Chains A and B, each alone.
Chain A
Amino acid sequence: MDFTYEVSRSMAACEGALLVVDASQGVEAQTLANAYLAIDHNLEMIPVINKIDLPSANVEEVKHQIEDIVGLDASGAIPASAKAGIGTKEILESVVKNIPSPAGDPDAPLRALLFDSWYDTYQGVVILVRVVDGTVRPKQKIKLYSNSSVYEVQSVGVFTPKMQPTPELSQGDVGCIIAGIKKVSDAKIGDTVMDADRTADGPLPGYKDVKPMVFAGIYPVISEDYADLRDALEKLRLNDSSFTYEPETSLALGFGFRCGFLGLLHMDIIKERLEREFKLDLIPTAPTVVYRVTKNSGETVMVDNPAKLPGIQDVQRIEEPMIMASLITPEQYVGSLIALCQDRRGVQKEITYITKDRVLISYELPLNEIVMDFYDRLKSLTKGYASLDYELSGYVESDLVKLDMLLNGEPVDALSLITHRDKAAIRGRQLAEKLKEVIPRQLYEVVIQAAIGAKIIARETVKALRKDVTAKCYGGDITRKRKLLEKQKEVKKKMKQVGSVELPQEAFLAVLKVGE
């Protein structure tokens, strides 16, 4: 899904692959997507059925699925349980017996495929390569093809599974190179490592410069946490060059960052790590895709933030990114999934019974319809049984509008979103209702409005707070009362002041939860 490109580069570094299928879950959408990817790369596949120790394991059924859905001979599938240590030896034997030896020319100029990299505090960037042609050894000068930067190799090694230095890596080897590279963003996945003094004729095929597809603002709940958030993002970026961030200011949320992700899964991982590993209390804004906006002047701009959408009078057309989604589901959920996809402006491409009770549904969908809650809806509609995979399928012109939320007449930038015109009215209403639920009563009435341009499409009111007083306060009540007050002050501190209105964190999350 989000990491298809990375997976494809890893496959390009191999001659074969293990197709690991869960013995109780069976073939899922991503199993299929990755199997097709492996077939595209002409990999020799060995089917492995894992988790056979589970009570719900059904090895025979899964074998049928592999044959029917993936179209792979499963007679030699190896039953295994990584947890119980079953099948490990058989798998290794099968790798030795069935997977072809690497091809390539040991005497040709160096060409190695870079398929992973990470940052090590002591050694700098460590890159993982598959040497296709030639040899690489310490002291050699190497060049990264995509940006022509030159480094001197400090050491090379293989993993067994700990890193073991070796004198060299040559044709067919998979190992690591440490060459004083400073940033992971300089070591791009899919790039070709060459000998700087004896440059090969051309790079290995398949290199792409991947760009973030989904953007969201990330803000600290308490503004004093801004520096901590910046440090955390910097640390995450050290090991993840596909994730981007830049400072952003919101009138409502103050100082934060606009972050770019490969997709939804990638975004969830980053948010989760910021909260868990760095213990940050965050407000994420609604995720948005990158729109291609052509202005009347003919200029084309890419818009990753609703606040930056040019005024309607300047816009000639807006295009939005589309995806091809594959959903695999037990047949009893087909109806509800089709309803979900239709509701999300989907265009049906194909429905196939891949076994007698499992169905593959293909839909072309706008990415902006799935960035919010599509995956959660999918899982809850199908009790977790359906699976999803998608790939980008290009940009399509669409009738999109910016929906603004106004509080007491003032637009709140962090609550704006871009949506299809047909859906704006209902979204605006839902959002206004949701905000009414989560905005606490305040000293003054709060008027919530949803607007497209100057046109108000929904309105709700949070009545003014008139009474908040403790009936009694005598000797025994004082400590309790003081502690309650301290708590109330803490809650106030976390509120974001937008004009005259105090907004709790939940108000910003409401955008993500509309429709639940």
Chain B
Amino acid sequence: MLSLYIHTPFCVRKCLYCGFYSTPYSEQRAEDYVVALRNEASAYRSDFSRRLFSTVYIGGGTPTVLSNEQSAKVMCLIKDCFSVAENAEVTVEANPNSAAQQGLSQWLRLGVNRLSLGIQSFSDRILQNLGRLHTADQAVDAFRSARCAGFTNIGIDLIYGVPGQTMAQWGESLAAATRLTPEHISLYSLSLDEGSALKRRADSGTYALPDDELVIGMYEYAVSMLFDAGYARYEISNFALPGFECRHNMNYWERGEYLGLGPGASSFVAGRRFDNISDHEEYARRLARGRSVIVDCEEVTTEQAARERLLLGLRTSRGVDLCRFHDEQGSNSFRRLQASLPPLSAAGLIRIIDGRVRLTDRGALLCNEVLARLTV
């Protein structure tokens, strides 16, 4: 499967926990960006002329800060340069403070059929702690606006493990989330990403994540609470009503191919992983001169491919298909993997059912530890 990712590097303000590349929105910057994006897409046009994209994901940053005219241009350049499947999943990310109903309707008209809304929390205090610009009420309003605009597939994000957050607050946020009945819910344990403001505070000793036991409690509570509300966990951090799993993200976890456009976007095409330059000005400058914006390119070796297969596949509830692993990686690698499974099985971290290796609930929380013990 082939996916397309478009990175929009603009935010009204950067959130404290965010390590992604972004820059404040300005009319001129966004104009330059859209021109550069078209240049980049055009350069790939012939290479991908015979290929069909099954999903499109417009992420960021905050794509919904773009003006109606700019968003039209983005959607237009996608259609001009690439073939997108009729039934493709086309997602746009939005923040509650930049999701006016009129703008959302416009994205729908342009062919977007899925909305990912970064609500993060239904507690104003927690939202403030995270450096978010919206309130809980605004989040609810934004969700309702999206429904009114006609979105029938909406995903929301929530963050837990925020310093100061209590179990009770977390329960309330989850309840508020399920009351809105989104099709998809992502739950992220707050992490200190490189390059984020919180990471810098933590390094200087003025900030600390809450105790693991509390964070585990929050996760375990959420899994059972969402299960009761009809949401199945199909990846460590992702939950969906039946049939609403995010196909775009599933493609990442299946090691499918994807082309990323925009500053800082990553791609995986023809066995190579490569990244675009992050700086949006340099990105635009290089494209204006017809130069490549790729800064890191790596051919994935067979062994690395095997590791990726495990580190991605084990995150999903489907797990890793052993037969397929054998076919892809060969019998030596397969035998090594097989030999490393029994102790993990005995420790209750994995289960092998129908030829698939899956993490148990305990194993999901210890995913990295499991991966470090698997040999390929």
- Mark A residues whose CB is within 8 Å of B: 443, 465-476, 478-479, 481-482, 484-486, 488-489, 492
B312 within 8 Å of A (CB atoms): yes
Question: What residue of chain B has the Cβ atom nearest to residue A480's Cβ?
Answer: B194
21 A-B pairs in the complex with CB atoms less than 8 angstroms apart = A443-B347, A466-B213, A466-B366, A468-B368, A468-B369, A469-B236, A470-B367, A472-B188, A473-B253, A473-B311, A473-B315, A474-B252, A475-B252, A475-B258, A475-B260, A476-B260, A479-B266, A479-B296, A485-B307, A485-B311, A492-B372
Interface residues of B in 188-215 (CB under 8 A from A): 188-191, 212-213, 215
Q: Which of B265, B273, B366 contacts A479 (CB 8 A)?
A: B273
Interface centre among B188, B266, B267, B298 (most CB of A within 10 A): B266
Nearest CB of B to A394, in Å: 53
B40 within 8 Å of A (CB atoms): no
Interface centre among B273, B365, B367, B371 (most CB of A within 10 A): B371
A-chain residues with CB within 8 Å of residue B236 when the two chains form the complex? 469
Do A443 and B311 have beta carbons less than 8 Å apart? Answer: no
A485 to B368, CA, bound (A): 7
Q: Which of A469, A472, A478 contacts B368 (CB 8 A)?
A: A469
Interface residues of B in 252-294 (CB under 8 A from A): 252-253, 258, 260, 264-268, 273, 275
Do B260 and A486 have beta carbons less than 8 Å apart? Answer: no
Do A466 and B216 have beta carbons less than 8 Å apart? Answer: yes
Knowing A479-B266, A488-B372, the reply to whether A472 touches B366 (Cβ < 8 A) is no
A-chain residues with CB within 8 Å of residue B252 when the two chains form the complex? 473-475, 478
Do B312 and A470 have beta carbons less than 8 Å apart? Answer: no
Question: What residue of chain A has the Cβ atom nearest to residue B367's Cβ?
Answer: A469
Chain B 223-240 interface mask (CB, 8 Å, partner A; 1/0): 000000000000011000
A-chain residues with CB within 8 Å of residue B268 when the two chains form the complex? 475, 478
Q: Which of B189, B216, B264, B312 contacts A478 (CB 8 A)?
A: B312
B141 within 8 Å of A (CB atoms): no
B-chain residues with CB within 8 Å of residue A475 when the two chains form the complex? 5, 252, 258, 260, 265-268
A479 to B265, CA, bound (A): 13
B304 within 8 Å of A (CB atoms): yes
Question: What residue of chain B has the Cβ atom nearest to residue A473's Cβ?
Answer: B315
Q: Which of B215, B216, B266, B307 contacts A486 (CB 8 A)?
A: B307
Question: What residue of chain A has the Cβ atom nearest to residue B186's Cβ?
Answer: A472
Number of contacting residues on B, CB 8 A?
42
B373 within 8 Å of A (CB atoms): yes
A475 to B304, CA, bound (A): 16
Chain B 308-322 interface mask (CB, 8 Å, partner A; 1/0): 100110010000000
Question: What residue of chain A has the Cβ atom nearest to residue B187's Cβ?
Answer: A471
Interface residues of B in 145-191 (CB under 8 A from A): 188-191
A478 to B309, CA, bound (A): 10
A472 to B216, CA, bound (A): 16
B364 within 8 Å of A (CB atoms): yes
Nearest CB of A to B276, in Å: 10
A313 to B376, CA, bound (A): 51
A473 to B268, CA, bound (A): 14
Do B275 and A476 have beta carbons less than 8 Å apart? Answer: yes
Question: What residue of chain A has the Cβ atom nearest to residue B372's Cβ?
Answer: A488
B249 within 8 Å of A (CB atoms): yes
- Taking A479-B296, A479-B298, A485-B368 as given, write out 13 further A-B residue pairs in contact, using a Cβ cutoff of 8 Å, ordered by the A residue number: A465-B369, A466-B365, A467-B216, A468-B365, A468-B366, A469-B189, A469-B364, A471-B237, A473-B315, A478-B273, A478-B308, A492-B372, A492-B373
A-chain residues with CB within 8 Å of residue B371 when the two chains form the complex? 485, 488
Nearest CB of A to B40, in Å: 16
Q: Which of B249, B311, B347 contacts A474 (CB 8 A)?
A: B249
Question: What residue of chain B has the Cβ atom nearest to residue A486's Cβ?
Answer: B307
Nearest CB of B to A494, in Å: 12
Question: What residue of chain B has the Cβ atom nearest to residue A478's Cβ?
Answer: B308
A-chain residues with CB within 8 Å of residue B366 when the two chains form the complex? 443, 465-469
Question: What residue of chain B has the Cβ atom nearest to residue A493's Cβ?
Answer: B372
Do A485 and B372 have beta carbons less than 8 Å apart? Answer: yes
Q: Which 6 A-B pairs have the closest CB atoms?
A: A476-B266, A469-B367, A468-B368, A488-B372, A471-B188, A471-B189
Interface centre among B5, B253, B369 (most CB of A within 10 A): B369
Interface centre among A472, A481, A486 (most CB of B within 10 A): A472
Nearest CB of B to A313, in Å: 39
Nearest CB of A to B38, in Å: 21
Do A467 and B311 have beta carbons less than 8 Å apart? Answer: no
A486 to B368, CA, bound (A): 11
A470 to B311, CA, bound (A): 10
Chain B 297-311 interface mask (CB, 8 Å, partner A; 1/0): 010000010011001
A472 to B191, CA, bound (A): 9
B-chain residues with CB within 8 Å of residue A489 when the two chains form the complex? 372
Do B266 and A471 have beta carbons less than 8 Å apart? Answer: no
A482 to B372, CA, bound (A): 10
A-chain residues with CB within 8 Å of residue B213 when the two chains form the complex? 466
Do B307 and A467 have beta carbons less than 8 Å apart? Answer: no
Chain B 1-25 interface mask (CB, 8 Å, partner A; 1/0): 0000100000000000000000000
A473 to B258, CA, bound (A): 14
A-chain residues with CB within 8 Å of residue B298 when the two chains form the complex? 479
A-chain residues with CB within 8 Å of residue B212 when the two chains form the complex? 466-467
Question: What residue of chain A has the Cβ atom nearest to residue B251's Cβ?
Answer: A475
Nearest CB of B to A440, in Å: 10
Q: Which of A467, A472, A478 contacts B237 (CB 8 A)?
A: A472
Interface centre among B190, B216, B252 (most CB of A within 10 A): B252
Question: What residue of chain A has the Cβ atom nearest to residue B373's Cβ?
Answer: A492
A478 to B188, CA, bound (A): 17
Do A482 and B367 have beta carbons less than 8 Å apart? Answer: no
A-chain residues with CB within 8 Å of residue B308 when the two chains form the complex? 478, 482
Interface centre among A465, A471, A474 (most CB of B within 10 A): A471
Nearest CB of A to B91, in Å: 12
Question: What residue of chain A has the Cβ atom nearest to residue B296's Cβ?
Answer: A479
A-chain residues with CB within 8 Å of residue B312 when the two chains form the complex? 473, 478
Nearest CB of B to A331, in Å: 40
Question: What residue of chain A has the Cβ atom nearest to residue B191's Cβ?
Answer: A471
Question: What residue of chain B has the Cβ atom nearest to residue A491's Cβ?
Answer: B372
A325 to B102, CA, bound (A): 88
A457 to B120, CA, bound (A): 50
Do A482 and B304 have beta carbons less than 8 Å apart? Answer: yes
A470 to B373, CA, bound (A): 16
Nearest CB of A to B362, in Å: 8
Do B372 and A467 have beta carbons less than 8 Å apart? Answer: no
Do B368 and A470 have beta carbons less than 8 Å apart? Answer: yes
Q: Which of B216, B275, B307, B347 contacts A482 (CB 8 A)?
A: B307
Nearest CB of B to A490, in Å: 10
B-chain residues with CB within 8 Å of residue A479 when the two chains form the complex? 266, 273, 275, 296, 298
A470 to B252, CA, bound (A): 15
Do B5 and A467 have beta carbons less than 8 Å apart? Answer: no
B-chain residues with CB within 8 Å of residue A472 when the two chains form the complex? 188, 191, 237
A492 to B315, CA, bound (A): 21
A-chain residues with CB within 8 Å of residue B369 when the two chains form the complex? 443, 465, 468
Question: What residue of chain A has the Cβ atom nearest to residue B236's Cβ?
Answer: A469
Interface residues of B in 106-128 (CB under 8 A from A): none
Knowing A471-B189, A475-B258, the reply to whether A488 touches B266 (Cβ < 8 A) is no
Question: What residue of chain A has the Cβ atom nearest to residue B264's Cβ?
Answer: A476
B-chain residues with CB within 8 Å of residue A482 when the two chains form the complex? 304, 307-308, 311
